[in-house]
């Protein structure tokens, strides 16, 4: 026979009541928390706050853009699949702006339509800055289909998501590579576009898609397309820099190769092409500091207007040869870098530099960091203190 002790009943009831009270309290606290039920601050439009989606925000240029927007009190969402970007850059930004509602990072592939739609459905974006792209001319000639998928197709998916979710402002990161080899210098926005490599062609196709969509009935898009030239430099305060993956160094920017040679990572610098029709036989390029480039993006965002499209070259207006660049890099690093001269790189062109008159006039933007040696010195300081990029130093 079981023995029942009536004295235990009140004790058990008390435990049950306490558990119910605790559960109710937990549910209440969860409901008040920013992420419960998708009602985070990132999912709500807030008066006086502009929420910008930065695709490719873990990359070199995208991370610098995120830093500037966060400094200017924008709300920022970074979407990146980290195939070219660095989580270390995101962590730097998170450390600088830890306050709730300032910055969120979403790991996603912009080629995945379901993921893109989910991101737009769960967040209230006011504008998109699209930096995400593979961006090496030489690599594009080796893997053209990858470039058309990554640049052109992914831009289409982003536009479809913007249309479905009522996001009307797009700042598009394009390139001077869409011009190919113009017959006349400097390049203006009216210069015909005849790209000669898959990178430039993929960007030109993406531009055409954007322009066609912006003209469609009911689109009401505010579009800014920035065609920029050769990007150098890094954050003047040394918080961010450029850190390409080791396997991509051979395709990367000349500044990265110069720094690798100065650090002894590679035995010397390979200059590809000495027989171009230029004064010293090497390519001529317009080198734009990343700080100036980001400033152009912010000014474009502030000037973007519904049913209007702005197309701008972003450069200094001055061309420098590769030999001039190498000399500046030697001075910036203090290292007598060994130079090896090789044949031309596939898909390259002899001379490219901008006429920035239009962006000067319409966006009140002018390049401020035009001293080549100084821009390289700033970038070199970051490289020296981060010999392994954002990894363990």
CA–CA dist 209, 186 (Å, integer):
26
CA–CA dist 156, 149 (Å, integer):
10
Q: Dihedral angle at the C-alpha atoms of 203, 287, 316, 371, nearest 10 degrees?
A: 160
Q: Which two tokens stand for residue 209?
A: 């898609």
Beta carbons of 314 and 356 less than 8 angstroms apart: yes
CA–CA dist 148, 171 (Å, integer):
20
CA–CA dist 241, 387 (Å, integer):
11
Measure Cα distances from 113 to 51, 53, 97, 122, 223 in Å.
21, 16, 30, 14, 22
Measure Cα distances from 144 to 35, 173, 228, 284 in Å.
41, 19, 21, 25
Beta carbons of 316 and 285 less than 8 angstroms apart: no
Give the 3-state secondary structure of residue 289. strand
Q: Dihedral angle at the C-alpha atoms of 290, 296, 299, 304, nearest 10 degrees?
A: -130
Give the 3-state secondary structure of residue 108. coil
Catalytic residue among 60, 199, 228, 369: 199
Q: Dihedral angle at the C-alpha atoms of 181, 185, 187, 193, nearest 10 degrees?
A: -30
Q: Are strands 103-107 and 287-289 parallel, antiparallel or unpaired?
A: unpaired
Measure Cα distances from 255 to 250, 290, 353 in Å.
12, 12, 17
Beta carbons of 134 and 146 less than 8 angstroms apart: yes
Q: Which helix (H) or strand (E) holds 52?
A: strand 51-55
Determine whether 199 is an active site residue: yes
Looking at the annotation, which residues are catalytic?
199
């Amino acid at each position: 026979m079981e023995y029942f002790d009536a004295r235990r009943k009140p004790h058990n009831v008390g435990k049950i009541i306490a558990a119910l009270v605790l559960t109710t309290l937990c549910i209440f606290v969860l409901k008040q928390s920013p992420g419960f039920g998708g009602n985070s601050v990132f999912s709500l439009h807030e008066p006086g706050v502009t929420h910008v989606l930065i695709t490719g925000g873990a990359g070199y240029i995208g991370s610098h853009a995120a830093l500037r927007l966060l400094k200017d009190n924008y709300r920022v969402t970074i979407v990146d699949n980290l195939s070219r970007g660095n989580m270390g850059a995101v962590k730097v930004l998170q450390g600088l702006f830890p306050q709730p509602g300032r910055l969120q990072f979403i790991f996603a592939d912009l080629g995945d339509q379901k993921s893109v739609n989910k991101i737009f459905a769960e967040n209230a974006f006011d504008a998109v800055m699209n930096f995400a792209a593979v961006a090496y001319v030489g690599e594009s000639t080796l893997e053209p289909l990858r470039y058309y998928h990554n640049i052109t197709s992914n831009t289409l998916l982003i536009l479809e998501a913007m249309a479905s979710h009522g996001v009307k402002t797009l700042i598009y990161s394009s390139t001077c590579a869409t011009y190919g080899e113009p017959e006349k210098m400097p390049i203006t926005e009216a210069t015909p576009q005849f790209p000669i490599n898959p990178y430039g062609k993929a960007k030109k196709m993406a531009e055409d898609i954007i322009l066609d969509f912006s003209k469609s009935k009911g689109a009401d898009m505010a579009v800014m397309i920035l065609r920029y030239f050769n990007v150098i430099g890094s954050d003047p305060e040394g918080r961010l820099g450029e850190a390409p993956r080791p396997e991509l160094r051979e395709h990367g920017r000349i500044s990265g190769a110069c720094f690798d040679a100065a650090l002894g990572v590679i035995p010397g610098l390979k200059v590809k092409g000495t027989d171009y029709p230029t004064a010293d036989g090497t390519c001529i390029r317009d080198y734009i500091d990343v700080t100036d480039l980001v400033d152009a993006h912010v000014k474009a965002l502030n000037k973007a207007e519904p049913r209007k499209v702005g197309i701008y070259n972003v450069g200094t207006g001055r061309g420098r040869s590769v030999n001039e660049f190498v000399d500046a890099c030697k001075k910036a690093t203090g290292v007598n870098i060994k130079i090896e001269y090789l044949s031309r790189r596939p898909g390259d062109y002899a001379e490219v530099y901008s006429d920035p008159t239009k962006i000067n006039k319409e966006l009140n933007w002018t390049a401020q960091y035009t001293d080549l040696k100084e821009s390289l010195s700033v970038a070199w300081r970051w490289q020296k203190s981060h010999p392994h990029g954002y990894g363990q130093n």
